[in-house]
Amino acid sequence: MKNKLKNVIEVYYQSFNANKPELLTRILTEDVYLRDWEIEKQGKKEVIETSSEIMNLPNFDIDILNEIYEGEFAAVDIIVKVNDETLKVIDLFEFENYKIKSISHITGGGLIDNPPRAFNKNLTLKFDMTKFKLPPLFKWLKNKANISLFELAKTFNCGIGFLIFRKSAQISNTPIPVIKPIKRGCANIIIKRKSQRKIGTFLAFKK
């Protein structure tokens, strides 16, 4: 089963790199569903038309980094290149009778690249993950894909779906929690000036 699904995935990405949307015709279900960032399409014709537009982006190319298969589902770690831009993405697939039934694209960034957009460049961010348990889904993904915790956090939010930032009364060499856990499972979040940055038990962000 895995080999058959792997062949379907190969054809899918080959269609993009070769700019041949017609290859998708034989590997998509009639009611295939696509979610690509802000795009949502359903139906083979709609999905192929949208994919064709993506294929025609300048200097578009996809490299596969890693693949995980579990039953009728797959997660594929890829690098997308458009002109001089490079983006790490996870594609999630659901299959039906060895055809692609749904596709969801997840932009990379996770806990590493996304939160720093919320504050200025003279600050850095550190998570105290001793206050947080990695959900079973992400443990499974980490072990199945054989990836480091850093790479996992660079792509996914690891179960932390919402962050709130507020000014601290003072900043010293001792990290000051900016957010205290409001319920079980929340992580302490610490903002420090870059000059005071220390490597934490889980992650330290470096610019």
Three-state helix/strand/coil letters over the chain: CHHHHHHHHHHHHHHHHCCCHHHHHHCEEEEEEEEECCEEEECHHHHHHHHHHHHCCCCCEEEEEEEEEECCEEEEEEEEEECCEEEEEEEEEEEECCEEEEEEEEECCHHHHCHHHHCCCCEEEEEEHHHCCCCHHHHHHHHHHCCCHHHHHHHCCCCCCCCCCCCCCCCCCCCCEEECCCCCCCCEEEEEEHHHCCCCCCCCCCC
Number of structural domains the chain divides into:
2
Look at 87 and 172; give whichever has higher pLDDT.
87
Question: Can you give the CATH number for the domain in which 88 is found?
Answer: 3.10.450.50
Q: Are residues 118 and 175 in the same domain?
A: yes
Q: Are residues 143 and 158 in the same domain?
A: yes
Domain boundary among 60, 89, 107: 107
- For residue 193, the model assigns a pLDDT of 45
Provide mean pLDDT across the span 135-161: 76
Q: Is the pLDDT of residue 6 over 70?
A: yes
- For residue 34, the model assigns a pLDDT of 92
Q: Are residues 27 and 77 in the same domain?
A: yes
pLDDT band for 27, please (50, 70, 90 cuts): very high
User: Is residue 206 in a domain?
Assistant: no
Provide mean pLDDT across the span 3-28: 96
pLDDT band for 187, please (50, 70, 90 cuts): very low
Q: Are residues 100 and 11 in the same domain?
A: yes
- For residue 11, the model assigns a pLDDT of 97
Name the least confident of 61-65, 108-112, 150-154.
108-112
Of 102, 132, 106, 119, which Cα lies nearest the Cα of 165?
Answer: 119
- For residue 40, the model assigns a pLDDT of 86
User: Is residue 59 in a domain?
Assistant: yes
Look at 195 and 69; give whichever has higher pLDDT.
69
Q: Are residues 13 and 91 in the same domain?
A: yes
Of 145, 131, 78, which Cα lies nearest the Cα of 105?
Answer: 78
pLDDT band for 19, please (50, 70, 90 cuts): very high
Q: Which two tokens stand for residue 129?
A: 């993950």
pLDDT band for 9, please (50, 70, 90 cuts): very high
Q: Are residues 87 and 126 in the same domain?
A: no
Q: Are residues 146 and 87 in the same domain?
A: no
User: Is residue 205 in a domain?
Assistant: no
Q: Are residues 23 and 59 in the same domain?
A: yes
User: Is residue 50 in a domain?
Assistant: yes
Q: Is the pLDDT of residue 118 over 70?
A: no
Q: Is the pLDDT of residue 87 over 60?
A: yes
- For residue 134, the model assigns a pLDDT of 80
Q: Are residues 159 and 146 in the same domain?
A: yes
Q: Are residues 11 and 96 in the same domain?
A: yes
pTM: 0.60
Full domain range(s) for residue 182:
110-196
What is the number of other CB atoms lying within 10 angstroms of the CB of residue 156?
Answer: 20
- For residue 158, the model assigns a pLDDT of 76
Domain boundary among 68, 84, 107: 107
Domain boundary among 50, 75, 107: 107
- For residue 177, the model assigns a pLDDT of 41
Q: Are residues 43 and 91 in the same domain?
A: yes
